[in-house]
Amino acid sequence: MRRIFLLPIALVATLVVAASAGADTKTVQITKTGFTPGSTTITVGDTVTWHNADATSHQVVANDGSFASPVLKSGETFSFTFTQAGKTTYHDAFATSKKGTVTTNAPAANVTLTGSTSTVTYGDNTTVSGTVTNQLANEPVTLMSQPYGKGSQSLATTMTQANGAFSFGVSPTIQTSYQARWRSTGSPSVTINVRPRVGFGRSGKLFVAKVTSDLAYAGHYVWVQRKAPLGSFRNVKRVYLGANSRAVFRATLPKGRSILRLVLPQTQAGVGYTAGTSRLISFKR
Instruction: List pLDDT tens digits, range 29-66.
Output: 999 999 999 999 998 889 999 999 999 999 999 999 99
Task: Say what the alpha-carbon torsion angle 143, 148, 152, 157 is, to the nearest 10 degrees.
Answer: -20
Q: Is 2.60.40.10 the CATH number for 114-194? A: yes
- Residue 5, pLDDT > 90, answer no
CB under 8 Å to 162, separation ≥6 — which residues? Answer: 137
Report if pTM > 0.85.
no
What CATH homologous superfamily does 9-105 map to?
A: Cupredoxins -  blue copper proteins (2.60.40.420)
Distance CA(131)–CA(252), nearest Å, equals 55
Residues found in the chain: 285
Apex 255 CA angle, 253 and 259, nearest 5: 60
Mean pLDDT, to the nearest integer, of 201-226? 96
Radius of gyration of the chain (CA): 31
pLDDT at site 84: 86
Distance CA(192)–CA(260), nearest Å, equals 28
Question: Chain centroid to CA 279: how far?
Answer: 29
CATH class for the region spanning 196-284: mainly beta
Model confidence over 105-163: pLDDT tens digits?
987 889 999 999 999 999 999 999 999 988 889 999 999 999 999 999 999 999 999 88
Q: Which residues pair with 165 in a beta bridge?
A: 131
Looking only at the bridges linking them, the beta strands covering 140-147 and 176-182 are antiparallel
pLDDT at site 141: 98
Burial string for 43-53 (b: 16+ CB within 10 Å, else e) reads: bbbbbbbbbbe
Q: pLDDT exceeding 70 applies to what percent of the chain? A: 92
Domain with CATH 2.60.40.10 in the chain: 114-194
